[in-house]
Structure 1
C-alpha cells in the first residue's frame, strides 16, 4: 500500500485540488491509502475532547468524502502545531511515501517562494512532497 499524507488547511478549493490529485493517481482505488490531517489551532486543541476532533473540520470532511467516493482508502489524523512540524512528524508516524500539499495563487514573484508551511515541509520532510494548486467546484 502506498501511503499519502494530505495535510489540509481551511481553504476548500485547495483541499479539492489535493483530493483530485490523489484520486487521479494511477491505481488510486486499489493501492493508495490517504491520511488526511489538519493542524488544530490552539483553541481547537484546548477544546473538550468530545469536540476536539479533526473530523469537525469541513475541509477534512470534504477530502475524506471525495476520496471515499473515488474508492480510495482513508484515515484521519490530528496534526500538531506548528503545522509544518506536525506534518513532518505525521509523515514519519504513518511511514508516508508522499506528502501532497495545497498551494494558494500567488503573484509571479510570490511563486518563487512557497508559503512558509509548504516551504518548511519541502525542506524538512524525508518523503517526496508534491504541491498542487486549487480546484474550484
Structure 2
C-alpha cells in the first residue's frame, strides 16, 4: 500500500483534478491511501477543513474509487504544512495542483507547488485543472 498526500486549497476544480489523478494511478483502488491536507492561512470563523467544498469533493471522488481517505488541517504556510505532513506520514507521493500565474504573481506571492517541488526529495505529481 502506498500513501499519497494531496495538498488541497479552496478551489474545487483543482482539488478534484488532484483526486482524479490519484484515482487513476495504477493499483490505486486496491493499494493507495490518501491524506488530504488543507492549511488555513486565515480562518476567523474557525471552520474545519471538512466543511470546505474542495475537501468534500476530493474526498467523495476518492471514496467512490474505494480509496481510503483521511483529512488533516493545519494553519500556516501551505507548502511547509504539506511538506511536514508528508515527512511525518512518510508519504510515498505528494500531489499538488498546478495553475497558471503571471511572472509578477509568482514573484509577489510565491507558489505552493514550486515550494513543495523544490523542498522535498519525495516524488511530486502536479495535477492541473481541467480547463488548463
Match of 2:79 in 1: 84
Task: Indicate the SS of the match to 2:43.
Answer: helix
Contact 1:99–1:127 (8 Å) recurs in 2: yes
Whether the 8 Å CA contact 1:98–1:130 is kept in 2: the answer is: yes
1:79 touches 1:90 (CA, 8 Å); kept in 2? no
Aligned partners of 1:35 and 1:123: how far apart in 2?
21
Aligned to 1:72: 67
Contact 2:13–2:54 (CA under 8 A) maintained in structure 1: no
Count of residues paired in the alignment? 127
**Is 1:56–2:32 an aligned residue pair?**
no
Q: Does 1:103 align with 2:101?
A: no
Contact preservation (8 Å) 1:5, 1:36: yes
Note if 1:4 corresponds to 2:4: yes
Q: Deviations over 1:58-100 (max 9, x none)?
A: 1011100000001111111113311111010000111110001
Q: Deviations over 1:11-46 (max 9, x none)?
A: 1111111011000011111100010111013325x7
Tell me, yes or no, if the aligned pair for 1:79 and 1:87 is still in contact at 8 Å. Answer: no
Q: Which residue of 2 aligns with 1:25?
A: 25
Q: TM-score, normalised by structure 1?
A: 0.83
Task: For structure 2, list consecutive stretches of 5 or more residues without a partner in the other structure.
Answer: none
Q: Secondary structure at the match of 2:129?
A: coil
User: Secondary structure of the residue that 1:87 maps to in structure 2?
Assistant: helix
TM-score, normalised to structure 2, is 0.86
